[in-house]
Amino acid sequence: MPNDLGLLPTTTVGSFPKPDYLKKARSAVRKGKATEADLKDLQRKATRECVAMQERVGLDILVDGEFDRGDMATFFAEKLDGMSVSGLVRSYGNRYYRKPIIKSRLGRPRPLTVEMFRFAQELTSKPMKAIFTGPYTMVDWSFDEHYSSRRDAMLAMAEQLHAEAVELEKAGAKFIQVDEPAISTRPEEMDVAIEAMGIVVDGLKATTLTHVCYGDFDKIYPKILELPIDIFDLEFVNSEFDLLDRIREVPFTKGVSVGVLDVHTHKVEDTAKVEGWIRKAIGVLPIEKVWISPDCGLKTRTEEEAEKKLEVMVAATRAVRASL
């Protein structure tokens, strides 16, 4: 892990709330009242505003905000050869979404995220974190009508994502995050998830991260440490820092980006409370391996809430740093 960042680097998981003008533009494109080029201009405007906000807040590692992504799986499915996207499928409760379908052999006709990464990186002198969805989650969230096993599909997906990672690195990415929010749902598949991740990150020099949403962490820990990743970005607030008890029993051998903001509530955290959580985390984890971030993506918050929450996170982190 590079140490030129100083102690307790701050970052975010990746997604930010979409401005209203972007939602309107998206629906205008669907109705044929605006063009894809119009939408792209507005996605860049949102990216510029988001990067400026992250600089204002004082985060150390920035993200592009994912304004060109509707959903973290369909975005990639629409760009990869061999995939299409279903009609609306019902998930929990009344939530409907479109599910990717693997129809034939996967291919990557052109880069998926590189153009937006470059655009965002050029807006700032701070490092921009490159982010894409990992092979396990991509396949887990898709219907597979082509490959003979989930493993075959995941390994094929991993090859495509490896090519993406190599190009991101060539474009200057020093931090590459391969999101695997689905990985905690099926502990029996950890081996194939690890194998697939090995293909994605093979030979990379960049610091690698992964974001895993909290599931039944007990069932995947400590096995998850075998994922060939440098820093694990994990939810802590959501489980009221129970994870630390597990880590006390079986030490975490990798870097951890500790989630200190609840992304599910409108309420902006109290700085002293967040400071307390950071201190609790570094009481158990070696401080030189700790990053600070929100529990998950901020896309469900309002723009104002996202900024206020991040201000609290940075203020709390600075208070802890000052006391070291």
Of the candidates 266, 225, 264, 265, the one whose C-alpha atom is nearest the C-alpha of residue 243 is 225
Nearer to Zn ion, 213 or 274 (CB): 213
- Smaller CB distance to Zn ion: residue 15 or 74? 15
Select the span of 21-29, 118-126, 278-286, 296-304 touching Zn ion (CB under 5 A). 296-304
Distance CA 252, CA 236 (A): 14
Does position 243 bind Zn ion by CB under 5 A? no
Using CB under 5 A, which residues numbered 163 to 182 contact Zn ion? 181
Residues numbered 122-151 forming contacts with Zn ion, rule: CB under 5 A: none
Where does the chain have alpha helices with state H? 20-30, 36-57, 74-79, 114-121, 135-140, 150-170, 190-201, 217-220, 243-249, 271-284, 303-322
Nearest-10 crossing angle of helices 303-322, 36-57: 30
Residues 26-45 within binding reach of Zn ion (CB under 5 A):
none
187 vs 297, beta carbon nearer Zn ion: 297
Rule CB under 5 A: say whether 296 interacts with Zn ion: yes
Q: What is the DSSP letter of 18?
A: P
Name the minimum Å distance from CB 87 to Zn ion: 26
Helices (H) and strands (E) in the chain, counts: 11, 9
Please tell me the count of residues contacting Zn ion according to CB under 5 A. Answer: 3
CA dist 197 and 157 (Å) reads 10
Stretch that binds Zn ion, among 33-41, 45-53, 83-91, 295-303 (CB under 5 A): 295-303
Task: Tell me, residue by residue from 200 to 229, as one string, x for binding to Zn ion by CB under 5 A and - for no binding.
Answer: -------------x----------------
* Sites of contact with Zn ion (CB under 5 A): 181, 213, 296
